[in-house]
Amino acid sequence: MILGPTAFILKSYIQNVGSYLTNFVELSTWSGAFQESEWHNNVTLMYWGWWASWSPFVGTFIARVSKGRTIKEFILGVLILPALVTFLWFSAFGGTTMLGLLEGDFALIDAVNDNISTALYVFFEKFPLASLLKVLGMVLISSFIITSADSGALVVDSITSGGSKRTPAIQRILWASLSGLIAAALLTGGGLDALQAAVTISGLPFAVLLVLMCISLFIGIREDFQTDKRKSKISDRENYVEKVKKVIKKSTDGE
C-alpha cells in the first residue's frame, strides 16, 4: 500500500467489498449448470472442502485462544475483522496488478502462466526495495506454513490424547512429521491437483459434522440463555425479598 498506487488500492478496496457483498449469494451457489465452466470446481468447491477439512483444527485452536470471550467479541475478532483485513490484502495485491494491466503491463500474466509459484517475486520487482520485499515474502510464507502445521499438529495431538493439553513433545513432533510427509507424498505423486482433490474429498464428511455441531451450538446457547434468565429471575426475587425485609425491619425499629 505504501510503495504501490495507494489511492487506487483504497478506492478498489471499497469497491471490492461492495462487489463481494453484492455477489456473495450468487457466487456461493454457482454450479455452472447453464454454461460450461470449471470455475466453481477450482474456487467454490475446492475452498469449501478446504475449510471444511480444516475446521476441526482451526475451530479447536480458535476456541482455545478465545476462551473467556463473549460471542460478540468472537464474531468481531475472528470473523469480521480478519475478513476486512483480507479484503485489504487482496485489494493491495490485486489492485496493483489490475492497474498494471490497465496501463498495458502484462508481465505478471506471463509470470503466472510460466510458473504461478514464483509469480509473487515477479510482482515484487515492480516496487523499490524489491530484494527486501522478496525476503519478507519468503519469511511470511514460511511463517504461515510453519504456524499452520504447528497448530494443526497440536490440535490433532490433543484430540488423539483425549483432549489432554500436555502431551510428550515427541508425540507432537510425530504428528507434525506425518502431516508433512503426507502432503509431500501427494505433491510428489500428483502435484497440487492431487493435494486439492484429497482436501476436497476429506471435507465432505466434516461438512456433515459441521452441520450437526451448528445445531448443537444453537441448542447450547439457547440453554445457557434460559439458564441465565432463570438465574436473573431468582436474583431479582431475592433482591425484592431483601428489600421487603429491610422495610419491615425499619418499620419495626421505628415502632
- What tens digit of pLDDT does each residue of 204-251 get? 888 888 889 889 989 988 888 888 777 777 777 777 667 767 767 666
Report the distance separating Cα 77 and Cα 82, nearest Å.
Answer: 7
- The pLDDT of residue 33 is 80
171 Cβ neighbours under 8 A, 6+ residues apart: 157, 161
pTM of the shown model? 0.71
Q: Is the pLDDT of residue 90 over 80?
A: yes
- What tens digit of pLDDT does each residue of 171-185 get? 878 888 887 888 788
Any idea which residue has 517475486 for its cell? 121
| CB of 71 closer than 8 Å to CB of 222 | no
